[in-house]
Amino acid sequence: MEVKPKSACDTCAQFNADGLKKLGVNTSNFDYVVALAGNPNTGKSTVFNAMTGLRQHTGNWPGKTVTRAEGAFEYNGEKFKLVDLPGTYSLLSTSEDEEVARNFILFGKPSVTVIVVDASRLERNLNLVLQILEITNNAVLCLNLMDEAERNNLEIDTRTLARDLGIPVVPTSARYNRGIPELIQTVSELANGKIVCKPHRIKNIPKNIEQALEKLSAEIKEVYPDIPNSRWIALRLLEGDRNIIETLKTGEFV
Amino acid sequence: MNTNKIDHIISLSNDLRWQIGDEFHDNLAEGIYADAAEIVKDSVHKKDEKGAFRVDAKIDKIITSKVWGFPLMFLILAVVLWLTIVGANYPSSILSGLLLDTLHPALKGFASTIGMPWWLDGFLIDGVYLAVAWVIAVMLPPMAIFFPLFTLLEDFGYLPRVAFNLDHLFKLSGAHGKQALTMSMGFGCNAAGIVATRIIDSPRERLIAIITNNFSLCNGRWPTQILIATIFVGALVPASYSGIMSLVAVIGIAVLGMVFMFLVSWGLSKTVLKGEVSTFNLELPPYRPPRFWKTIYTSIIDRTLIVLWRAIVFAAPAGAVIWLISNIYIGDASVAAWLIDSLDGFGFLLGLNGVILVAYIVAIPANEIVIPTILMLTVLVTGISAGAGAGVMFELDSVTATGDILRAGGWTLLTAINLMLFSLLHNPCSTTIYTIYKETKSVKWTLVASILPVIMGFVVTFLVAQIWRLGS
């Protein structure tokens, strides 16, 4: 066994280290479902392993995780099931892995979505982040690979980023277990409703598309007043997504 | 129900789709990127222009260059193989000393003390136990070296570069560039390589990758290649060069396997699996220093032990079968002898012999027991004494002694070369066949993937034998 590097948070009053139990593959009787999404090769599987204590094989090539992996941890008496989704650059196309990720976030209704991004390649990664924020209200940005960003001399103002995105931002280096306690704490607070997000919604959309979206989304809200992502559904309808048309009829995502 | 409302929404969306036109997708993507750029501008600052990006780019310039890409790839492959071959020798001899020379006699002694009947003792200890012990002694050390080395390369970020270098060739052969990754995995274990083909989206290209993965020389076959190359090919040159010569021969076979992979992929994509080559984005990940011990640990747990366990499960019954066919007599000869006799003529046509063919039939479960089975059967047929009874697998302490037995069994350089070729081109092991079925869910494609390589093996060895005999 390797000794986990001590994090300052292990002793912080905010983080309750004794309250954490990594449950590995035992995912029965969970209280919350947490989805793990992100671009390929940003270390999702490493974050997954760090949170669950599992040793799922990780590797330095995009597309390592081909199927959904599940694990669990317990924090302050509540059980969280963690689902590691395949890495995608976007959620807008029809490829199989994007569909798995998109459907899970939309229909699996995770309590919290952890979006793992490569801190050194934030701009490119934000493409996916902004799409996910259209779908879900409860998300946290896991700014992973901070050690590499530091080596690349990048400075990231996490507060500004959190304010702009409207969700909590936690810097991590999952391979060294740095930031994982804070991430778990944040996930727990999001699940319990102690942190409420006000996610960024895509602004720079051409006027004609924006108007179409508003029109559609207003109609959708009339039928399903409680859904948080009417705009995303409108977007998918404009795209002609068969899946969405079907589920709109059955009302499965409510 | 709101059915009317929903129908209205859907028809509205259809109308709107027409209105906004087909630039919708691009406009949306541009909008998202514009948002992303604004956000990043406020929160990310670069302290100076130097950094790891430059180093990465410099390394990539060499590793993926047209001039150096291929030589470097072969050099790295050669180094990994060399480390595996040389490094595996010592633990292998320790393990075989322990399991075969110490524990086996001890078990035999114990069996005779408790008065176990000879057939049960033979079946269990000489059959099942020896096959398992063999697989562990021969297979564990090279795997425990090869898999971690491979995983280190993977974690470092080299594999996607290999895919990048080979992409052009795969595209030419009508296959997916990511097949380079599954091919590399196949060098460790074909079953693992076939599972890895899940990264290929297109079903057509995935099938090609599955069917041709067997042309990656796997772990179970490396030791056979190395041993035979050392005995017969290495001996062609003066002793000081024989190591290099054997390595060149083995790498030659591995490269030949890659050539066959391209040819068969090309053939399939031009005939039964016709279709367009799909494009894909391959992101070259940053080089990351692997976490050494963690990598070693996970690759041993995840890959080595799992593959080893599977091999043991399949080797045990094979050991039992080998013992049975050499101890059950029909008339005046054992079943094994009958089989060998009946296959000798066909074997001769292929430049092989009946022993080798029988060994490949009983070794379908696990390729690593081919050599011990060949030795055992050769002794059985030639009647030379090597201190072991019928149906008992054994290894000889020295490569020279193994060579002597094989030569006594009528082996020539042609037999050796054709055995190396046949070891490359024959049906996948039963684990791999099972994995192919699980992944494709199709009996037809499983049969194709299993039988195609054997036919190729027959054709290639037949041609080599005929040309060889014409020339000599």
Q: A203 vs B283: CB contact, 8 Å cut-off?
A: no
Residue A68 contacts B, CB cutoff 8 Å: no
Residues in chain B: 472
**How are the residues of chain A apportioned to helix, strand and coil, as percentages rounded to the nearest 5?**
45, 20, 40
Amino acid at B41: K
The residues spanned by each domain of chain B are 64-275, 315-471
Report residue B2's pLDDT band, with 50, 70 and 90 as the boundaries.
Answer: low
Closest to A157 (Cβ–Cβ): which among B30, B43, B178? B43
| CA of A247 vs chain B CAs: smallest distance (Å) | 11
Q: Across the interface, do B20 and A2 touch by the CB < 8 Å criterion?
A: no
Judged against a pLDDT cut of 80, whether residue B410 lies above it is answered with: yes
Contact A33, A134 (CB under 8 A): no
Question: Is the CB of A160 less than 8 angstroms away from the CB of B42?
Answer: yes
Q: Nearest residue of B to residue A62 by CA position?
A: B283
Give the tokens for residue B55: 């180093």
Nearest to A123 among B16, B40, B154 (CB): B40
Name which residue leads in pLDDT, B223 or A36: A36
| Chain A residue with Cα closest to B40 | A123
Query: Is residue A234 less than 8 Å (CB to CB) from chain B?
Result: yes
Q: Which of B82, B182, B77, B95 is nearest to B139 (CA)?
A: B95
Interface residue of A1, A60, A115 to substitute, partner B, most B CBs within 10 Å: A60
Q: Do B48 and A120 touch (CB under 8 A)?
A: no
Q: Which residue has the tokens 């799909």?
A: B278
pLDDT digits (tens, 9 = 90+) for B24-48: 778 888 888 889 988 888 888 877 6
Residues of A in contact with B153 (CB under 8 A): none
ipTM metric: 0.83
B29 contacts A92? CB cut-off 8 A: yes
> Given an 8 Å threshold on Cβ–Cβ distance, is B25 in contact with A152?
no
Among A145, A156, A204, pick the best mutation site for testing chain B contact (most B Cβ within 10 A).
A204
Task: Quote the pLDDT of residue B219.
Answer: 74
Q: Counting Cβ atoms within 10 Å, is residue B312 exposed (0-12), middle (13-18) or buried (19+)?
A: middle
CA dist A118 and B60 (Å) reads 20
Q: State pLDDT tens for residues B253-310.
A: 999 999 999 999 999 999 888 877 776 767 777 787 777 887 788 777 777 787 778 7
More confident residue, B413 or B178: B413
- pLDDT single digits (tens) B4-19: 888 888 888 888 888 8
> Comparing C-alpha atoms, which of A229, A218, A219 is closest to residue A254?
A229
Residue A226 contacts B, CB cutoff 8 Å: no
| Chain B residues touching A95 at Cβ < 8 A | 201
Q: What confidence score (pLDDT) does residue B297 get? A: 82
Per-residue pLDDT in tens (0 to 9) along chain A, 254 residues: 444 545 555 556 567 777 788 877 676 778 999 999 998 888 888 899 899 887 665 555 555 555 557 888 999 889 999 988 888 888 887 677 788 888 888 888 899 999 999 998 899 899 999 999 999 989 999 999 999 888 888 889 999 999 999 999 999 999 888 999 999 999 999 999 999 899 998 888 888 888 888 888 888 888 888 787 888 888 888 888 888 888 888 777 65
**Crossing angle, helix A207-223 and helix B24-43, to 10 degrees?**
100
Task: Spell out which residues of chain B touch residue A96, defining contact as CB-CB under 8 Å.
Answer: 201
Q: Does A100 touch chain B (CB under 8 A)?
A: no
Mean predicted confidence (pLDDT) in B231-237: 86
